[in-house]
């Protein structure tokens, strides 16, 4: 068999191995790019939290973090107030919702 012929077994094995290695390299690069933080891209920007509260047995919301902080400052919402966020199954006390507790921790105390 002529070794310079493209269809020789050695050339076909070499081509197959090269193709497999290049596919692994592409897969590895795609994974690295997906995990990369790109400033300003929509995929890399965190979505703002949206809160709902049960005040006087009525849902109030959607509230951003600033509006939620104002409800805490004014005393309209306490740790026992029921809250809900997108993705939750049911209403729960604010004290059991980590994202709401974070905002409460950042809320300055009254003067």
pLDDT tens digits, one per residue of 30-54 = 888 777 766 666 555 556 688 899 9
Report yes or no: 94 and 104 within 8 Å, Cβ to Cβ: yes
Cα distances from 106 to residues 19, 46, 63, 72, 74, in angstroms, run 54, 18, 16, 11, 15
The residue whose two tokens read 């920007």 is: 45
Question: Which pLDDT belongs to residue 47?
Answer: 61
- Domain ranges for the chain: 9-42, 51-106
Residue ranges of the chain with per-residue pLDDT less than 70: 1-7, 37-48, 110-111
pLDDT of residue 37: 66
Angle between helices 65-74 and 98-106 (to 10 degrees): 70
Place of tokens 């690295």: 32
């Amino acid at each position: 068999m002529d070794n310079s012929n493209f269809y020789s077994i050695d050339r076909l094995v070499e081509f197959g191995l090269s193709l497999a290695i290049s596919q692994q390299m592409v897969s590895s690069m795609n994974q690295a790019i997906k995990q990369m933080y790109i400033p300003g891209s929509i995929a890399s920007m965190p979505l703002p939290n949206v809160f709902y509260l049960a005040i006087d047995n009525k849902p109030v919301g959607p509230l951003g973090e600033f509006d939620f902080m104002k409800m805490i400052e004014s005393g309209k919402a306490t740790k026992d107030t029921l809250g809900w966020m997108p993705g939750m199954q049911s209403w729960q006390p604010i004290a059991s919702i980590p994202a709401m507790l974070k905002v409460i921790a950042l809320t300055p105390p009254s003067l």
